[in-house]
Amino acid sequence: MALKPLPRLLLIVTAVAGSWYGLNRYVQYMHAQNVTASAVPAHVDVPVAGSAAPAAGPIALGPAPMAAATGDYTARTLVLPWNAVAGLAYANGDSTTSAGSLMARRGVRLALERQDDYAQMVAEQALFAAEVAAGVARPAKGAAFVVIMGDALPGYAASAQAALAKMGQQIEVVGALGYSRGEDKCMLPAEVAADPQKARGSLIGAVLRDGDWNICIKYASDNKIPVNPDPKTYDPDAMNFVSVGAFTEADEKLIAASKGACETRPVVRNGRATGATQKVCQNGTATWTPGDVKVAREVGGLAAVASTKEYMWQMPAAIIGNKQWMAQNAPFVRNMLAAAFDASDAVKASDANLLAASKVMARVMREQTPEWWAKYHRGVVEKDAKGLDIRLGGSTTNNLADNLYLFGLNGNDSLYKRVYTVYGGIAHDLYPEEMPAVLPYESVVNTSYLQSLAASATAAAAAKPATPVFEANAPATSTFAKRSWAIEFDTGKASFRPEAIPVLEQMIDQVAVSGLAVQIAGHTDNVGDSASNLVLSKRRADAVSSWLQANAPSSFPKDRVRTRAYGDQQPVAANATAEGRAKNRRVDIALIRTE
């Protein structure tokens, strides 16, 4: 028997409420019973920054504004306290769309609200979905849109699917409003910046499987540092974590630890209990502005050892809506994106516009002043509580051209698909029980709204996105990360064996999303004479470079990739055994700074 709308809606809401406990456990997970061995994560190269090209000037998006499909409907939109949403704030004109704003001119109304908790975002989207499933055209409950850190989408999408699937509803990413470009970071004692191996034994506060946690994991992967995925034990040879529900909690725990608030944990080594316990104190945090500013001012002595300044494509501000509702209200979605993209150019073009956006930011986030948000939007270097220099803040806004580039809609690689793949893989590898599978990218990302905008906005679509610019002869100032890849070549040749192809495909998926210069170094064992080995190692390094450029030309322009040859001069194992010689036949990929 068919249910009437109201009872059916109540049934759906009850189902959502019943699933809340499970959802909350997923997002707030504290790894309890099963101890997983500490391990170096699969190498995941998220984009790293070179010098950015000048931003394109303001662009017009299409003809006169269209009427919104939902009239005066106000779509509740939940955002993180994050400067990457400054364009959205400027476009809206206030926490609720103001008269004369870019949103209002396009017939769109949004109510912007701060929300720090992904679990609560999922719950709000589930409440919205319940009304959509019940046939409500203008839902009054829940949130129509949320904005999250884009690299956290695999986990977020899995949580949302668990909540919405039984209602026949889905969520989709429809665009990226901005990027974190230094604002999000892994903060550890300053000596780690000079020697990454000193991150072994660290204890970092983080929301597990969240964007800032990802930065720490990426840094560990790039520097061959094992990760202990169990937040209740301590491995002195690995990077360890304190699991928290929000980044603000991670920062507060670090501040408390600096004043002596520590804990005692069972000691493990490679996942095996030793029987010992150890008092450990949190000495790091995975955070973003304003958390990084607070930690610098109240603790000090920490460095941003890795951030979205280096991993520049990692963290787009992904805007997510309800698939079914958006399909019924496509003009609303297109106009919302168009207004935000126009606002992006306005914010980039003028300090006055940035300050206007920051006034809205201060109102929506309910903290700090407009001047404060504007200052940290572009990023600064300041003295911390111990007199050390530290980079704080740093974000940017996205226009349509930036979106077309990110999502691979202008003939280039889909950088966002690569980010989704590598970070979904991290969550799955470290937490297989909580993340048994990564949802297909195509099922959670819908680029049709961007494509529609591009078709009606020729000038915007043709505009140049802000991308790294590389100089082939720029001297390397430091090596940010280096990792070896066991690529199989035919004996004595620079041609790849069939076994090499999966490794190369994994490497390109992981390294292509980096934005630093790439140095490829070839090495051999000591079989044969040294002169021949030197020539062979150069040919093999060049072969890898050519493969990268042939398979992802937009990600690997010629000036980005450098090759070096070392022959048999830098062994990493003894050449006396077959196993040792195999380890020495390798290719090292280094991400290097040239600033």
Give the mean model confidence (pLDDT) for residues 467-476.
88
pLDDT in tens, 356-387: 999 999 999 999 999 999 999 999 999 999 99
Give the mean model confidence (pLDDT) for residues 397-420.
93
Cis-peptide into 5, omega within 30 deg? no
Structural contact between residues 591 and 468, judged by C-beta atoms closer than 8 angstroms: no
State the fold for domain 470-593.
60s Ribosomal Protein L30; Chain: A; (3.30.1330)
CA distance 333 to 50: 33
Average pLDDT, the chain: 87
Alpha-helical segments (H) within 176-306: 190-194, 211-222, 247-257, 291-298
Give the 3-state secondary structure of residue 274. Answer: strand
pLDDT of residue 14: 39
pLDDT in tens, 199-228: 999 999 999 888 899 999 988 988 889 999
pLDDT of residue 265: 97
Spatial CB neighbours of 513, under 8 Å, sequence gap ≥ 6: 45, 46, 47, 313, 314, 415, 418, 419, 422, 555
Q: Give residue 255's pLDDT band: very low, low, confident or very high (50, 70, 90).
A: very high
Domain ranges of the chain: 63-178+313-383+393-462, 470-593
Among 236-240, 247-251, 485-489, the range of highest mean pLDDT? 236-240
Structural contact between residues 377 and 431, judged by C-beta atoms closer than 8 angstroms: no
* Percent of the chain predicted with pLDDT > 90: 66
Q: Give residue 12's pLDDT band: very low, low, confident or very high (50, 70, 90).
A: very low
Return the closest-CA partner of residue 487 out of 582, 591, 590: 582
Structural contact between residues 520 and 564, judged by C-beta atoms closer than 8 angstroms: yes
Give the residue, 243 or 467, on which the prediction is more confident: 243
CA distance 329 to 77: 16
pLDDT of residue 271: 85
Q: Give residue 389's pLDDT band: very low, low, confident or very high (50, 70, 90).
A: very high
pLDDT in tens, 517-574: 999 999 999 999 999 999 999 999 999 999 999 998 888 888 999 999 999 999 999 9
Alpha-helical segments (H) within 117-198: 118-133, 153-164, 190-194
Q: Is 535 left (phi over 0), alpha (psi -120 to 50) or beta?
A: alpha
What are the strands, taking DSSP E only, across 493-573?
517-522, 561-565
Domains 63-178+313-383+393-462 and 470-593 agree in fold: no
pLDDT of residue 574: 94
pLDDT of residue 40: 64
Beta bridge partners of 390: 382
pLDDT of residue 34: 42
| CATH number assigned to the domain with residue range 63-178+313-383+393-462, chosen from the 4 options 3.40.50.620, 2.30.30.100, 3.40.190.10, 3.40.30.10 | 3.40.190.10
Give the mean model confidence (pLDDT) for residues 331-357.
96
H/E element holding 539? helix 530-551
* φ, ψ for residue 124, nearest 5 deg: -70, -40
DSSP codes, 333-385: HHHHHHHHHHHHHHHHH-HHHHHHHHHHHHHHHTSS-HHHHHHHHH-EEEE-T
DSSP 8-state symbol, 56: P
pLDDT in tens, 540-555: 999 999 999 999 888 8
Return the closest-CA partner of residue 2 out of 188, 135, 106, 116: 135
Residue 4 has pLDDT above 60, yes or no: no
Q: Strands 240-243 and 517-522: what pairing?
A: unpaired
CA distance 359 to 501: 52
Enter the tokens of residue 59.
Answer: 């662009």
Give the mean model confidence (pLDDT) for residues 240-248.
90
pLDDT of residue 16: 43
What Å distances lie between residue 594 and 219, 378, 524, 544, CA to CA? 19, 21, 27, 21
CA distance 507 to 590: 12
Provide the Cα torsion 497, 503, 504, 506; round to 10°. Answer: 160
Give the 3-state secondary structure of residue 243. Answer: strand
Dihedral sign for Cα atoms in the order 207, 209, 211, 217: positive
Return the closest-CA partner of residue 560 out of 392, 359, 379, 413: 413
Q: Give the chain's end-to-end CA distance (angstroms, integer).
A: 69
pLDDT in tens, 40-86: 665 444 444 433 333 333 334 444 344 444 568 999 999 999 999 99
Residue 18 has pLDDT above 50, yes or no: no
pLDDT of residue 223: 85
Give the mean model confidence (pLDDT) for residues 306-320.
93
Structural contact between residues 39 and 585, judged by C-beta atoms closer than 8 angstroms: no
DSSP 8-state symbol, 150: G
Residue 462 has pLDDT above 50, yes or no: yes
Give the mean model confidence (pLDDT) for residues 393-416.
93
Residue 35 has pLDDT above 90, yes or no: no
Give the residue, 141 or 8, on which the prediction is more confident: 141
CA distance 126 to 167: 9
Structural contact between residues 341 and 398, judged by C-beta atoms closer than 8 angstroms: yes
Give the mean model confidence (pLDDT) for residues 581-592.
88
DSSP 8-state symbol, 68: P
Give the 3-state secondary structure of residue 158. Answer: helix
Give the mean model confidence (pLDDT) for residues 456-484.
83
